[in-house]
Chain A
Amino acid sequence: MKNILKHSVLKKLPVLLLAAPLLFLTACTSIGDSSSDDAAAVEDRTGGQNGEGYEGQTGAYDESGMGSGSAMGGDPLSDPNSPLSVRTIYFEYDSTIISSEGQSALNAHAEYLSLNSGKRLIIEGHTDEMGTREYNLSLGERRGRAVADFLSASGVPGEQMEVRSYGEENPVALEHNESAWQLNRRVELLY
């Protein structure tokens, strides 16, 4: 089976669920600043990671992140055992179909967003390197929209979501083979 995150196994081993993405990111942060953003996002999703480069639009995200820090019992976003810790949805080649694992993760995010109307989500679509770059930029957006549509159907208001696409421009795995491409065909959920 090609899925990189073997969800059935990981459900039984919640510690690994955190460890796997972290290990992966340590291996790959060397690649670039975008993945170091991702690393920050995984280690502490509650704030700060949007500070650099988002310019005028950043205020809202940062503020909501700061606010949640004072909530009683902590933010479920930073709970490694929460289904919300799944922040990457993987896709098959040239596909925008969300797998059942992806859907269960997205259901948790939909519930969270509905309960936390101050939270905003950036839905970032990515593709593998096969095919041409501009087509892939559009394909990445289509993946992002598929996720946004799913969340919308689950009751998340459009104002809480923004779809962006990087196409094939921001790979997390740099090799030119199928296992790298599987990792790169993804939508990232950034709070």
Chain B
Amino acid sequence: MRQNLFFLLFISMLFLSANSHAVLEVEITGGFQGASPIAIVPFAWSQSGKAPVDIAGVVSSDLSRSGMFSPLSLNQLPERPAMGDTINFPRWKNTQAEQLVIGNIAAVGQGQYEVKFQILDIFSGQEILGYRFSVEKQNLRRVAHQISDKIYEKLTHTRGAFDTLIAYVVVNNDVNAKKRVYTLAIADSDGYGEKVILKSRQPIMSPAWSPTGKQLAYVSFEKKRSIIYVQELKTGQRKVVARFKGINSAPSWSPDGKRLAMTLSKDGNSEIYVMYTDSGVLQRITNHYGIDTEPSWSPDGRSLVFTSDRAGKPQIYQIAVNPQGRVGNPKRLTYEGDYNSKASFSHDGKFLTMITRDRGHFRVGMLELSTRYLQVLTRSKLDESPSFAPNSKIVLYATESRGRGILEAIASDGSNSPQRLRVLSGDVREPAWSPYRSR
């Protein structure tokens, strides 16, 4: 990487909402072993007063949430240089940090801002990476997440997943009005910028991102029974995709976005089907009197994993489903314990995360497919809906704490403690992590 070479990056973003109203907040509930210290200096602001977004604060929070980094606190910073300032590296060498991140934010008129940053190696004094962004005010937080991604990728050699979204369902029990309100919402991966997708007095469940991130499939009971809808996030327009007799449940997009796996009971009991999204043609995948549900695609789009209790208790099975519509025989993947369900693949296809009953409690499990080793990642009691980050490094899941539904995230290799995301009111559940957004 050449020194002092900035890559010019113009961001044109069709982002959804600029309302940076914090509905979810992130609590770090445990420390991380082996996290590397990094110094992130508050970005210099071109005008008086405070900058519209504390970019360095968002980046620090992202990086510490990843479990890979431990940013210095502000009072540990020996100086607060802006870009272009002379840096007193000997002083930084006493801080334990290996890298220094500095940056500037400047208003350039008409609601436009310029944000630039550098990562410097404290020992050599050399620049490791530098970028410049031209951005509208409402996208400043998003640029902060993109900066986190750049830093994470440069220093860990893994693509970052901070500039992503999460979908989830919030349930508010209004005691006085004697009603329950369900909200399907999306937010940035740190919980800021919540945007409501659907509100209903009846249950909403199973949000599933399309591979482009432009649509959400979900199940809504607004007609007093389960119906699968697909909604365009940009326009809010939606359509019914499955309203058959019986249950319509558990939508899951194929990696190419052309097929939607789902659970229907129209032919007797719960079976897996695949719907071709352009034609609506249905292909039946399973045929068993046991419950078959919770289908999820392999990354190559050639098989599904699903939950079945055909052997008595829920276990994970895999079945080949090729694009020509041929279906193989189901193969059982889990034998450990008496309850394994809701599996989904890591993006390299090597792992499955699932819910597993461990000593009577429902916990997040990680199955390595090559060895069939099942690692239990959590210590909680009522975990549900594990969802991989698009870089598969973190699993987001729902659990219960002190009587409330909350979301937690944990490193996929179990190397850190759960980190809690919580809403200020209501029960949060059914998290689904979006795919990467286009760069």
**Residues of chain B whose beta carbon lies under 8 Å from any beta carbon of chain A:** 173, 175-176, 178-180, 201-203, 205-206, 221-226, 246-247, 249-250, 263, 265, 269-270, 291, 293-294, 307, 309, 313-314, 339, 341-342, 355, 357, 362, 382, 384-385, 400, 403, 429-430
Report B-chain residues with C-beta under 8 Å of the C-beta of A176: 382, 400, 403
Residues in B whose Cβ lies below 8 Å from that of A169 = 203, 205, 221
Asked if B178 contacts A138 (CB within 8 A), the reply is no
**How far does the Cβ of A43 sit from chain B's closest Cβ, in whole Å?**
14
Closest residue on chain A to residue B251 by CB atoms: A134
Asked if A138 and B265 sit within 8 Å, CB to CB, the answer is yes
Interface residues of A (CB under 8 A from B): 29-36, 53-55, 94, 129-135, 137-139, 141-142, 145, 163-167, 169-170, 174-176
Closest to B246 in A: A141
Q: Which residues of B contact A164 (CB under 8 A)?
A: 224-225
Contact of B175 among A30, A34, A54, A55 (CB under 8 A): A30
Contact indicator A141/B180 (Cβ below 8 Å)? no
Contact among A32, A94, A137, A145 with B173 in the assembled complex (CB-CB below 8 Å):
A32
Q: How far is the CB of B177 from chain A (nearest CB, A)?
A: 9
State whether A134 and B179 are in contact (beta carbons under 8 Å apart), knowing that A139-B291, A169-B205, A176-B382 are contacts in the complex: no
**Would you give 26 A-B contacts (Cβ < 8 Å), ordered by A?**
A29-B178, A33-B201, A34-B180, A34-B202, A53-B223, A53-B224, A94-B313, A131-B341, A131-B355, A132-B294, A132-B314, A132-B362, A134-B206, A134-B250, A135-B293, A135-B309, A135-B342, A137-B249, A137-B250, A137-B263, A137-B293, A138-B291, A141-B269, A142-B270, A145-B269, A164-B224
With both chains docked as a complex, state the minimum distance between the C-beta of A172 and any C-beta of chain B, in angstroms. Answer: 11
Instruction: Contacts A53-B223, A135-B314, A165-B226 given; indicate if A141 touches B270 (C-beta within 8 A).
Output: yes
Query: In the complex, A106→B342 CA distance in Å?
Result: 34
Give A11 Cβ to nearest chain B Cβ, in Å. 31
A132 and B384: CB pair below 8 A? yes
In the complex, residue of chain A having the shortest beta-carbon distance to the beta carbon of B386: A132
Task: Tell me if B263 and A134 are in contact (CB < 8 A).
Answer: yes
Contact call A135/B205, Cβ cutoff below 8 A: no
Nearest first, the 7 A-B pairs at minimum CB distance are: A32-B180, A169-B203, A138-B270, A132-B342, A134-B250, A138-B291, A30-B175
